[in-house]
Structure 1
């Protein structure tokens, strides 16, 4: 069975968030994992704990949770009519983005991946990505499209940027790996139509993250069980 068919037929459809609430619950269960209390912890300690949590999930749990979360993300993309969507290739226990990428290819949505800018330190480019894209390893050992100026899309031209993250809280605060790549990218989108969406396991939610002036909160965060939105 194809990923698209599985996601269409076997997972519940996410409904549009029509009420002024911050959290939409996808599942009918009222039981959710306890939110990780990170009070008085350093940023590095928070990262270390949550990375251990998500890497402790079994392969079967990772597959199931990734498919469920992908179905909700697909619904978000379709509801916003996004046609140019940047994602990322998963590693280190992140939700697997392969299902959603392949589903988007099947419905004709153009996908892009981040590439470390070769000249502007600490910044990202986004390059078109499909099944025929030539890939290379970057300085972190992560696969990214081979640089081709004809395939570049600026962040402001994208309809949606799905961002990786290590931790988040219910205020939309995001903690990455510490490189600041996405914070720099998102800081330039305040007057753009581009929607930034976090994509994470439920176990990556923390009680209240320590925030620095350069941290950019996310308007939408999607997990396998919930959709967090911030009031406009």
Structure 2
């Protein structure tokens, strides 16, 4: 997305990058996600974190299932979000068994079954893994338009690192942002870590 293409709206940028991402094959998705996982698991912020919030991937996002399972096997506590549509907030719940505890929920994203909801306060988090549609080299983030993560992030302690996982095709020259949009601390792609 070069500057000479003129002004693009958030929605245009969102649609364009999602279209790029949808063209990735399952094999490419898995390979690139594995490369991103290697970078994530080597980061000091990840190694030192005890309680990590992951998103559960959907629609050609960076795959997180195997990351979550490995983090659990390493003894880390994993928290995942449940979308609260009424006020567009995120309810956090601790996940202990990926295969047993999840079902299709809001927006067709996997969420904990009711009997497995274990609320966790955002103040307990050491690290947050953030999804997104597009990012730039200043770590600006374009989300899906619901504002869930921006609202959530605004209440996080400034000590809590927010890392985004993205494919290189999701990195654009400049993300279209407004005053509510909060940047992340780092963006991890299959090729690099953007700080």
CA drift of 1:150 comes to 6.9
> Residue 78 of structure 1: CA displacement?
6.0
Structure 1 gap segments, 5+ residues each: 1-35
Shift, 1:77, TM fit: 5.5
Q: Which residue of structure 2 aligns with residue 222 of structure 1?
A: 188
Residue 201 of structure 1 corresponds to 167
Change (3 A) 1:109 1:77: farther
Contact 2:49 2:126 in 1 (8 A): yes
2:94 paired with 1:128: yes
- Structure 2 residue runs without a partner (length 5+): none
Using the alignment, how far apart are the partners of 2:46 and 2:97 within structure 1?
25
For 1:161, the equivalent position in structure 2 comes to 128
What displacement does 1:192 show? 4.0
- Summarize deviations over 1:182-224 as a string: whole Å, max 9, x none: 00000112x4432111110010011111211100111111111
3-state DSSP class of the match of 2:43? Answer: helix
User: Given that residues 54 and 203 in structure 1 are in contact (C-alpha distance below 8 angstroms), is that contact kept between their aligned partners in structure 2?
Assistant: yes
Max Rg structure: 1
SS at match of 2:69: helix
Q: Which residue of 1 aligns with 2:21?
A: 54
Moved over 2 A (4+): 36-39, 77-80, 132-139, 146-150
Task: Map 1:88-127; keep pairs closer than 5 Å.
Answer: 88-117=55-84, 121-127=87-93
Identify which range, 60-69 or 127-136, moves more after superposition. 127-136
**Does 1:145 pair with 2:116?**
no
- Checking the alignment, whether the CA contact within 8 Å between 1:86 and 1:161 is kept in structure 2 is yes
Aligned pair count reads 192
- Find the aligned partners of 1:88 and 1:55 in 2 and give their Cα distance: 19
Once residues 146 and 213 of structure 1 are traced to their aligned partners in structure 2, the CA distance between those partners, rounded to angstroms, is 35
SS of equivalent to 1:153: coil
